[in-house]
Chain A
Amino acid sequence: MLMHHTLMSGIGAWPLVSLALLGAFHGLNPAMGWLFAVGLGLQERRLGAVLRAIPPIAAGHATAVAAVLAVVAIAGRFVSAEVLRVSAALLLIGFAGYLVARRFAHPVRVGMRVGWRDLAVWSWLMATAHGAGLMILPVVLAMAAGTTPAAHSVIATDTIALVIHTIALLSVMTVVALLVYRVFGVKILRRAWLNFDYVWASVLVVAGGVTLFV
C-alpha cells in the first residue's frame, strides 16, 4: 500500500486522469459493448440481461488491454525506454493507418444468442481489433518513465493503469447502457450514434504523436 502510495504521488494526476478519460472514451463507443448489452436486454425483455452482459464485456476489454501491457512490459526488459517509446509511437500511428485502410472491418464471431464466454471473447476481439490497449500505451510509458525501472514497479504501474482504465470503462458503459435501455430507447441511435471510427483512429494518431514528440 505504501509502495502504491509513493507510486501514485510520483506519477502525478494527469496520467491517471488520462487513463480514466480513455476508459470513458472506450466505454462510450457503442461498438465496445454497451449497445450489445442493451440489445440482449431488449431481446430478453429484462434489465437483468443488460447488467449481466456488462461484466464479461468489461473483462474481455481489460484482458485485451492487459495483453498489450504485458507485451510492452516484457519488451521493456530487453530494449531501452527510448526504443520502446519510438516503437510504440510508430505502432500507434501504423495501427490507425491499418484501421482506415481496412475500413474498420472487424470480425463477426457471435450472434444474439450469447453466454458470458461469447461476450468476453467478442469484447476481447473488438478491443484488440480497435487497438484499445495500444491507445493507453503513451500514458503507461509516461508513468513508467516517472518511476524506477524495476520489474515490480512496471507491474505495479501497469496494474494501476489497467484498473483505472477498466473502472472508467465499466462505469461509463453501465451508465450509458442503463440510460439507453430505460430512458432514451435504442431509437436514439439514429441521431446520436456519431461515427466513432475516425475519431478513434485520430486518437490513435494523436497518442502516437504525443509519444513521439513530447
Chain B
Amino acid sequence: MVCAASVTLFRYTTMAFARPTVLPDPTFYPSPRDAIGAPRERLAYVAAIDPTSKRPDALDAIDVDPASARYGQRVSRLEMPNAGDELHHFGWNACSATLCPYAAHPHVDRRYLVVPGLRSSRIHIIDTKPDPSQPRIVKVIEPDVMAKKAGYSRPHTVHCGPEGIYISALGNPAGDGPGGVLLLDHNSFDIIGAWERDRGPQVLAYDIWWNLGFDTAITSEWGTPNTIEQGLDLDVLTSKRYGRAIHLWDLRTRKHQQTLPVGENDQMVLELRPAHDPSRPYGFVGVVVNVGDLSSSIWLWRRTGNGRGKWEFNKVIEIPAEPADPDDLPPALKPFKAVPPLVSDIDLTLDDQTLYVSCWGTGELRRYDVSSPDRPVLVDSVYLGGIVRRAPHPAGGSLNGGPQMVEVSRDGQRVYVTNSLYASWDAQFYPEGIRGWMVKLDAKPGKPLAVDPRFFPDFGTHRPHQVRLQGGDASSDSYCFPSS
C-alpha cells in the first residue's frame, strides 16, 4: 500500500521545472576527492558574445571527447532571444551542495544552466536535457522582474548553494551601487529576493563564494555598472574608486561581518576561489591591477587558529608588468611603456593543490603549486596571445586576446581557456578586435602543461567567455564533506 501511494505521489508533478529523482544526480559528490574520480567530460558549454551586439549572444556546445569524430568542434549554437545580453558567467541549477546534511535536497537533476546577461540583466534558464548537445531555453527572467523583486541589475556569478541559487549582481537598476546577491528558487527559477539582511559598508560587488565548513560567504568588488560599462575608466582608476576589498558574511544570518582590504594601490578584486575542501578555512582571490606599478596579485584569505581564530588577508603572489615599446601598445597603455598582466581569472583544482592564473594582458597562463597556500610556487607557464607577445597556437596561428576565463576538469588533467574579457574592455586593450578562441591544455601529473594541437574550435565572429563542463568542473560545485 505504501509502495502504491509512493508511486502515485511520485508521479505527481507541479508546475516547477526540476522534477524529483529517485537517487541523487550521479554528478553530485559528497567530497571534492570523490568528484576528482568523476568520469571525464564530453561536452563543454561556452558563453559566446557578439561584440557588435547586432546578433544575439549564444551558448555554444563544444565536443571535448577525444574519441569523437567532432572533437574540438562546435556541435550546436543556441542563440538568445535578444541581442546585446553580454553573456558572461553562468552556473548550474543544482550541484554537490545539495548533499549538505543540514539542507539536503539531492533528488534533483543537474540539468539547467542559469545564464545571465551582464549587460541586459536578463537571466536565461537553459535545459540541457534530453539531448545535452542541443540545449534549449525554457525560461527568461526579464530585468524589470529582477529590479522589482531584488532591487539589483547586471547579474554576474551563479552558484548553487544551501538555500537555492545565488547570483551576484553588480549594481542597482540605475547602474549605481550597491550591488549584491540575489536568491533564485531552484525549483521554479523565480527570484526570491535580495540575499543580504545587513550589508554593512559593502557597496561594490562582483563574485560570491563560500567556505561552507565555516558558514562564511565571501564577496569581492569590481565596480558599479556606470564605472565599467563604457570601458575601463582611468579617472575612476586613478581616484581608486574600483573595488579594493573582500567582504566576509555569515551564511546563516546573511549579515556582513568583516571587510578585508587589499593594498593601497590595488584595484578590482575579482574571482574568489575558496578551498574546495570544507574543512580548509582559506581561499584565493585575484586582483587585476596595482595603479602604482601595474602589477597583478593574488591574495589569500585564511582563518587562523585551526579555523577558530581571526580571518587574515595577505598578498601571496605578485606578477609584475612587462616593459614594452609604446609603439606596440594600445593608446590606453602607451604612457606606461609596459604591459600589465591584468589577472582576470584564477581557478583552483579540486584537490586544492594547484592554482591556475590567467594573465590576459601579457598572454600567459601560470600554474602554481599551492599545497602550502601561503607560499605558492610557480611551477609552469604557457604563453597564448598577449597585447605585445601574440604567442601562437599550433592550429590557430598568431593569437590576440590572452588567457582569460580558465576552467579545469574535475580530475585536474585538462584546462580550458578562453580569451574574451568584456566587450568594451576588449576594445581598449586589443583595439584591432579580438578573434575569439578556446584552447585546451593537458595537465598530466608531473608533466609540463601542453597545448592540445587538435583542439581549436571556430567561434565565427563571436567571442567565448566562461566555460562550464558537462557534469561539473573546478568552479561549479561546493561540498559539505571533507576529502579525508
Contact = CB atoms under 8 A, between A and B. Distances in A.
B69 to A, nearest CB: 32
Contact of A109 (B10, B31, B252): B252
Contact of A191 (B23, B187, B482): B23
Contacts of A13: none
Contact of A195 (B22, B30, B100, B481): B22
Interface string B459-481: 00000000000000000000011
Contacts of B105: 104
Interface string A174-198: 0000000000001101110111011
Contacts of A205: 5, 9
A111 B6 contact: no
A181 to B, nearest CB: 11
Interface in A101-155: 101, 103-106, 108-114, 122
Contacts of A43: 213, 278-279, 481-482
B101 interface: yes
Nearest to B102: A110
Nearest to A207: B2
A15 interface: no
Contact of A206 (B2, B101, B106): B2
B161 to A, nearest CB: 10
A73 interface: no
B279 A203 contact: no
A17 interface: no
B395 interface: no
Contacts of B31: 186-187
Given A45-B279, A186-B30, A198-B10, A30 B104 contact: yes
Taking each of B28, B102, B106, B107, which has the highest tally of chain A beta carbons within 10 Å of its own beta carbon?
Answer: B102
Contact of B106 (A189, A198, A201): A189
B30 A190 contact: yes
A201 B9 CA distance: 8
Contacts of B113: none
A110 B103 CA distance: 8
A31 interface: yes
B30 A103 contact: no
A113 to B, nearest CB: 5
Interface of B: 1-3, 5-6, 8-10, 12, 14, 16, 20-24, 26, 28-31, 34, 99-107, 162-163, 187, 212-215, 251-252, 278-279, 480-482, 484
19 contacts: A36-B102, A38-B101, A39-B101, A96-B9, A103-B20, A105-B187, A112-B100, A114-B102, A186-B99, A186-B481, A189-B24, A189-B30, A190-B24, A194-B23, A195-B22, A198-B6, A198-B20, A201-B5, A202-B5
